[in-house]
Amino acid sequence: MVLTKGMDKEIVEYLYAAEKDRREVVKVTEKYPKINFIDAYSIQEKLIQKREKDGSRRIGLKLGLTSKAKQEMMGVHEAIYGYLTDDMLALEWEQLRYEEFIHPKAEPEIAFLIKENLHGKDVTAEDVLSVTQFVAPAIEIIDSRYLNFNFTLTDVIADNCSSSRFFIGSKWTNPKELNLEEIGMVMSKNGEVLQTGSGAAVLGHPATAVAWAVNKLGEMGKGIKKGDIILSGALSEAISFEPSDTIQVQFDKLGTVSFSCK
Ligand code: OOG
């Protein structure tokens, strides 16, 4: 860890202000090239603590870079995780206000709704499924605070993995009724299909991705809790959108989730 106390506070303020002011900023590693993943997760934690001081509540986790394609694009071999807070939850029946974002993109995801606490370092996909009450279709809105979504892994972890908003569809299914890796997905914008994918794109199985995050948290004595919502990672590339666009994600068996923007 190369981070000093003054440095972490400065970075947290920098990223927090960028989000509040809806402003793109230069990536953190331009100024602090030596910071590493451990530093980045520590900055992320402090950023969330700052949100909590301002009244937000942690309600779950999100995974990122879970697809091989995205890992190769970034030249990394590991996924990343960030936190979801209650103010990130967006509602399907309300239009998203474009002015609240910097340069948002939408990603298709499968959400896990957790019914029991789960901690450990050897947690498996089966363990995750056994504490999952429901799975649901979801859309994550990512909105990196960095200029043109240009960042290193360290930068994106510090920035809470570009988290911004998320939608959970209204159909909830018992995961035992499905083979999540076989679920197909089609994402369209204004009726035009732009992305397709399958559950297997998420580290082979979305529950494997969640197990990875639980084990990673386990290294720090943390875990996931009853009531958590977990976004298991994008099934395809993200797509950008503008005011008056409508994005729809249709999953085989899992249902549909959509939003429009104004
Ligand atoms: C990082 C977050 C990506 C995912 O599911 O891969 C992500 C980014 O591309 O901004 O959430």
Domain ranges of the chain: 5-260
Q: State the pLDDT confidence band at 30, using cuts at 50, 70 and 90.
A: very high
**Residue 115 — very low, low, confident or very high, per pLDDT cuts 50/70/90?**
very high
Structure tokens at 91: 């509602």
Instruction: Render pLDDT for 179-212 as a digit per residue (tens, 0 to 9).
Output: 999 999 999 999 999 999 999 999 999 999 999 9
User: Which residues does a 6 A CB cutoff place in the pocket of ligand 1?
Assistant: 64-66, 70, 107, 140, 142, 144, 149, 156, 161-162, 233-234
Q: Distance (Å, rounded) from C-alpha 38 to C-alpha 109?
A: 26
* Residue of the CA atom closest to atom 8 of ligand 1: 162
Give the pLDDT confidence score for residue 252 in this predicted structure.
96
Q: How far is the CA of 64 from the centre of ligand 1 (A)?
A: 4
Q: What is the H or E stretch that residue 60 is in?
A: strand 58-64
pTM of the model: 0.97
Mutate to test the pocket of ligand 1, among 68, 70, 249 (most ligand atoms within 8 A of CB): 70
CA distance readout (Å), 200 to 70, 87, 164, 237:
14, 30, 25, 14
> Does residue 121 surpass a pLDDT of 90?
yes
The pLDDT of residue 1 is 67
CA 4 – ligand 1 centroid, Å: 27
- The pLDDT score that the predictor gives to residue 56 is 98
Residue 219's H or E segment, with its range, is: none
Mean pLDDT, all residues of the chain: 96
Helix (H) or strand (E) holding 36: none
Point out the ligand 1 atom lying closest to the alpha carbon of residue 142.
10
pLDDT digits (tens, 9 = 90+) for 205-250: 999 999 999 999 999 999 999 999 999 999 999 999 999 999 999 9
Which is the closest atom of ligand 1 to the Cα of 156? 1
252 CA → ligand 1 middle, Å: 23
Torsion angle, alpha carbons of 188, 194, 196, 202, to 10: -100
The residue ranking higher by pLDDT, 69 or 61, is 61
Residue nearest to atom 10 of ligand 1 (CA): 162
ipTM, 2 dp: 0.96
Strands 58-64 and 80-85: antiparallel
Q: What is the average per-residue pLDDT within 120-138?
A: 98
CATH superfamily of the 5-260 domain: Fumarylacetoacetase-like, C-terminal domain (3.90.850.10)
Cα distance between residue 193 and residue 201, in whole Å: 18
Q: Is 130 left (phi over 0), alpha (psi -120 to 50) or beta?
A: alpha
Alpha-carbon torsion 15, 102, 167, 90, what sign?
positive
Q: Which atom of ligand 1 is nearest to the CA of 140?
A: 11
Give residue 84 CA to ligand 1 midpoint distance, Å.
Answer: 13
Specify the ligand 1 atom closest to the Cα of 62: 11
Q: Give 142 Cα–ligand 1 centroid separation in angstroms.
A: 7
Give the residue, by CA position, lying nearest to ligand 1 atom 7: 64
Percent of the chain at pLDDT > 70 equals 100
Beta bridge partners of 261: 96
Mean of pLDDT values over 168-172: 97
Contacts of 261 (CB under 8 A, 6+ apart): 95, 96, 97, 98, 241, 242, 243, 244, 245, 246, 247
* Ligand 1 atom having least distance to the Cα of 231: 5
162 Cα–ligand 1 center, Å = 7
Q: Does pLDDT of 70 surpass 90?
A: no
Query: Could you tell me the maximum CA-CA distance found in the chain, to the nearest angstrom?
Result: 51
